[in-house]
Structure 1
Amino acid sequence: MTSARAPRSSRRTIFAAMLAAALAVFPGPAFAQRDAQRNASRDARESREDRDEEVEAFARVIVDSADLRSGPGISYRIIGNAKRGETLALDGRPTSGFWLRVLLPDGRAAYVLGDAVQPFAVHEGERGAPSRPGFFAPPPLEGARGGLAIVGGILSGPVGDGSRATFGYMEIRPQIVLHKTISLDGFLGDALTSDGQQLLYGAGATVHFFPSWAVCPFGTLGGGGLSTFPAPDSFVLKKQDSFVGRVGGGLLLALRNRILVRLEVTNLTLFTADTYKSAQTYAGGLGVYF
């Protein structure tokens, strides 16, 4: 009886050792299922984190009209207004009280009362989702009262001997904005060379054809005068005063933070009692509305 039990005990020991080795090398279904669940949980967590990184926060106006102020309080000046249904990008910075910091379409920051808007989030690339302000922005013509532009370029026109010459040219142009589509302008330009000086001055109007476009075409119409003051030893210019009719056009490129770039060409009709001539200006520069 004793000799029969010994082999059976050895066989059990050997079988247990082989089973332990097999489980160590080949995990059972329970271990595989547990690993799969861990991997799925990790993948889901990473997916949620990726989606959170792509979320953009906006605020939709839920009142008839919401004032946009320069600071978080009613004592700050109003710098804009948003109508019901408009969306504004949230800046996400902490504010005082129940005020939200938002970004206007031209890239400026403003504050709106939290009761006037409803925050919401969208995922990047979501169909129909609003967008945050980019490099270009609509011209700040809506609500503007005035403006100022400084441009430089060349003035090409007739000279004393009947030929044409080209001069460096600079012009300053103050504006009164009557509506986002039209403004009244004054202009004072100077073409200064070693041969003398030519002053161009007058007033007119500018029409903005598509004031909500970031690249806005415009046309100008006006009149004034051109006074020439030759240098004492100049044979190119001669002293003369002419009436001027002015017509032109160009493009207004609106960038973030109300920075404006102007590119324009104008044609000048110069006339006196017995002469009729034409000249042109080609200019570009910067402008601002306020």
Structure 2
Amino acid sequence: MKRPVLWLWLCLWVAGLNAWAGEVARLRVEAAYIDLHTGPGPRFPRHQVAERGEWIEVLKGRTGWYKVRTERGATGWVSAETLVQATRTAEGRRPVTGVAKLGDFSHRRWEFGVGGGDFGGAALISGYAGFAMTRNLSAEVSLAHVLGRYSDSLMANADLVAQPFPSWRVSPFFALGTGIIRTLPHATLIQAEDRTDPAGHGGFGVRWYLSGRFMLRAEFRRYVIFTSRDDNEDIDEWKAGLSFFY
């Protein structure tokens, strides 16, 4: 059971990195003009400009600078900060470059992460993907593998996550969601059956922006598992991990 979950996490990370690498491709100049340098750094002289309304194509990046080509065929280097401040994508959004800052953290669209923790006294490993619908509200899906003494469990969840202070470096959030949990007793147990139960949960946590595109995430959730038996189960979960965004 471990291998499919680990492969899914790997696919999420690779998909995120590929999308991040391909997001900055063609941009429209919104400032009066931007200077194009002969090399990747402020010490290189300015030799061309791209004017307002002109489209530029991003060719490659190096240490916070990007080589671009204008519609007229002129090429030059522009700093990542200039691209973020002076250009927009075809959808009218600020471009997300490989050199992220705190402002990019508060305007992120996608995030992916992995982590581990405790689920009712058992070890837990998990991965998630999230999409920001607004600066304050995002939707997330997650998978988790619980490694218990007498049984293992697989969980799949969907959440709405509210973040009241998205521009804070250490930003609290609140989550409410639902999902399913499949319990897989170990083969040594007699007369034990696999079972799948619905669950609801609520919780809170913090995102802590580190640098670049990385952040730490820690959270607590309380689950109510609606079992087929007469009583439901309440289980607490604590976990922390590393995430990246773009």
Verify same fold: TM over 0.5.
Answer: yes
Report the TM range for the smaller structure's normalisation: 0.5 to 0.7
For 1:234-245, list aligned pairs within 5 A.
234=189, 239-245=194-200
- Higher strand share goes to which structure? 2
Map of 1:59 onto structure 2: none
Is the aligned partner of 1:210 residue 2:174?
no
Question: Quick one: distance in 2 between partners of 1:243 and 1:96?
Answer: 62
Q: Verify: 1:152 aligned to 2:110, yes or no.
A: no
Structure 1 residue 242: Cα displacement:
1.9
Query: Size of the alignment, in residue pairs?
Result: 176
What do the CA deviations read for 1:207-247 (whole angstroms, capped 9, x no partner)?
Answer: 11100000000011100111100111147x86332211110
Could you tell me how far apart the structure 1 residues matched to 2:118 and 2:227 are? 23
Misfit runs of 4+, over 6 Å: 80-84
Unaligned stretches of 5+ residues in structure 2: 1-20, 33-40, 50-61, 65-78, 87-100
Change (3 A) 1:93 1:243: farther
Shift of 1:196: 2.7
| CA separation of 1:152 and 1:83: change in aligned 2, threshold 3 A | farther
1:112 matches 2:77: no
Aligned to 1:60: none
- Report the equivalent of 1:179: 134
**Distance in 2 (alpha carbons) for counterparts of 1:276 and 1:203:** 20
Q: Residue 189 of structure 1 contacts residue 199 of structure 1 at CA under 8 Å; is this kept in 2?
A: yes
Q: Is the 8 A contact 1:250 1:262 kept in 2?
A: yes
Q: Larger % of helix: which?
A: 1
TM-score, structure 1 normalization: 0.52
Q: Rate the CA distance shift 1:96–1:148 in 2: closer, same or farther, 3 A.
A: farther
Are the aligned partners of 1:268 and 1:280 in contact in 2 as well (CA < 8 Å)? yes
User: Following superposition of structure 1 onto structure 2, how do residues 123-134 of structure 1 map, counting pairs within 5 Å?
Assistant: none
| Other-structure match for 2:183 | 228
Specify the alignment match of 1:282 in structure 2. Answer: 238
**Which has the higher Rg, Structure 1 or Structure 2?**
1
Q: Percent identical across equivalent pairs? A: 22
| Aligned counterpart, 2:209 | 254
Q: CA deviation at 1:258?
A: 1.7
Q: Residues 67-89 of structure 1: CA distance to partner in whole angstroms, max 9, x if unpaired?
A: xxx9xxxx9545x99999xxxxx
Structure 1 gaps of 5+ residues are 1-69, 85-90, 104-108, 117-135, 157-165
Residue of structure 2 equivalent to 1:122: none
Q: Which amino acid aligns with 1:226?
A: I
Distance 1:152 1:227 in 2: 18
Cα distance in 2 for residues equivalent to 1:110 and 1:248:
37
One-letter amino acid of the structure 2 residue matched with residue 137 of structure 1: L
Mapped pair 1:200 → 2:170: no
The CA RMSD measured in Å over matched residues stands at 3.7
Cα displacement string for residues 256-286 of structure 1 (whole angstroms, at most 9, x for unaligned residues) = 1021100111110111243211001110001
Does the CA contact (< 8 Å) of 1:199 and 1:226 recur in 2? Answer: yes
